[in-house]
C-alpha cells in the first residue's frame, strides 16, 4: 500500500478538489507512457478487433466517452469517424494537439451527467474505466444508452473488486464492481449482453506492482542523476511488451467467456 501511495502522491494532494484532480490526471509526460504501456496497447488492440468484427463496412460513428488523451482514434478502422468526449480542458487540449493529423476525428469537452451529444448518434460507444469515477453511475449508464443508436454497441469496462478500499480515494473511485452486479446494472438499463472480454486480472495485478517499481526507479534516477529516464522507451521493455502481447493474443483467441469479467460489450436492441 505504501508503494501505491507513492505512485499516486500528486493526486492524493488534490483529491478534495474534484476539478483540479481531473485537470491534473494526465500531463505531457503521460503521452509517451500512455502510448507505450503494454496495458494500453493491449486495450487498443482489443478495441480495434471489436470495431472491425462488429461493423466491418459502412460509415459508422464511434464515440469515446472519457477519452483521456484520445489514442483510441488511432486504432479505429477506416469506416469509422471518431468523437472523443473528455471532461478535463487540459487533457482535451493535449488530445487535440496529439491527434490533429487523424482524419474524421473530433474532440468535445463534456461529461456526465449530461453528455454533449444528441440522442441515438453513435453506432459504437466506448467507455473504459470511467463510471467508477462518477457518483451516480446509474445516470451515467442511462446517458450511454441514450446516445447509442438502436442496434448499436457499447464496450464498457470498470475495475473489479481486487484493490484495497483505501486505494479508491487515491485514484478517484467511488466504487469497484463484481461481474454479476455490473451485468445486472447494464441489463436493468435496457442493454443486452453481447460479449464478455477476458481481463486477466491476476496477470495485470502483478504487472501493476512492477509498474509502480518502474515509476519509483524513474524518479530516483531523475533525482540522483538529474536526467530523465523512461523505462517504456528502453529496448528491453519493448521486447518484454511484445512477449506479453503475443501471450495475451493466444489466450484471448482460445479463451472462454468469463462471467466474472467487468469488461462487457452490450447491445441496444431495436425498438419493437
pLDDT tens-digit series, residues 84-142: 999 999 999 999 999 999 999 999 999 999 999 999 999 999 999 999 999 999 999 99
| pLDDT at residue number 259 | 81
Q: d(Cα 113, Cα 133) in Å, to the nearest integer? A: 12
Judge if pTM exceeds 0.85: yes
| pLDDT at residue number 256 | 67
Widest distance between CA atoms in the chain:
67
pLDDT surpasses 60 at 228: yes
Q: d(Cα 259, Cα 157) in Å, to the nearest integer? A: 14
In the chain, pLDDT over 90 holds for what percent of residues? Answer: 59
| More confident: 48 or 257 | 48
Edge-to-edge order in the sheet of strand 122-128: 105-109, 80-86, 60-65, 122-128, 148-157, 263-268, 191-196
| pLDDT at residue number 32 | 80
pLDDT surpasses 80 at 13: no
Helices (H), 134-200: 137-147, 165-170, 179-188
**Residues 138-161: pLDDT tens digits?**
999 999 999 999 999 999 999 886
> What band does 174 get if pLDDT is binned at 50, 70 and 90?
confident
Nearest CA-CA partner of 27 in 68, 65, 67, 86:
68
| pLDDT at residue number 219 | 86
Q: What is the mean pLDDT of residues 204-228?
A: 86
What is the DSSP-derived secondary structure letter of residue 257? -
What is the DSSP-derived secondary structure letter of residue 267? E
Amino acid at each position: 500500500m505504501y508503494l501505491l501511495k507513492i505512485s499516486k502522491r500528486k493526486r492524493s494532494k488534490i483529491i478534495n478538489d474534484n476539478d483540479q484532480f481531473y485537470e491534473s490526471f494526465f500531463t505531457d509526460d503521460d503521452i509517451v507512457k500512455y502510448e507505450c504501456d503494454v496495458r494500453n496497447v493491449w486495450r487498443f488492440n482489443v478495441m480495434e478487433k471489436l470495431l472491425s468484427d462488429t461493423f466491418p463496412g459502412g460509415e459508422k460513428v464511434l464515440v469515446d466517452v472519457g477519452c483521456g488523451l484520445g489514442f483510441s482514434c488511432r486504432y479505429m478502422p477506416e469506416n469509422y469517424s471518431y468523437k472523443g468526449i473528455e471532461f478535463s480542458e487540459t487533457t482535451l487540449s493535449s488530445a487535440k494537439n496529439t491527434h490533429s493529423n487523424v482524419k474524421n476525428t473530433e474532440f468535445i469537452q463534456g461529461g456526465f451527467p449530461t453528455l454533449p451529444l444528441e440522442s441515438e448518434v453513435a453506432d459504437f460507444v466506448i467507455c473504459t474505466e470511467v463510471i467508477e469515477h462518477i457518483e451516480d453511475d446509474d445516470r451515467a449508464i442511462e446517458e450511454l444508452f441514450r446516445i447509442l443508436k438502436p442496434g448499436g454497441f457499447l464496450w464498457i469496462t470498470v475495475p473489479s473488486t481486487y484493490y484495497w478500499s483505501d486505494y479508491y480515494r487515491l485514484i478517484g473511485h467511488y466504487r469497484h464492481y463484481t461481474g454479476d452486479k455490473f451485468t445486472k446494472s447494464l441489463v436493468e438499463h435496457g442493454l443486452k449482453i453481447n460479449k464478455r472480454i477476458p481481463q486477466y486480472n491476476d496477470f495485470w495485478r502483478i504487472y501493476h506492482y512492477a509498474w509502480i517499481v518502474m515509476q519509483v526507479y524513474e524518479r530516483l534516477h531523475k533525482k540522483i542523476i538529474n536526467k530523465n529516464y523512461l523505462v517504456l522507451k528502453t529496448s528491453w521493455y519493448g521486447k518484454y511488451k511484445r512477449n506479453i502481447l503475443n501471450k495475451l493474443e493466444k489466450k484471448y483467441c482460445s479463451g472462454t467467456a468469463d462471467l466474472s469479467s467487468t469488461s462487457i460489450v452490450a447491445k441496444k436492441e431495436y425498438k419493437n
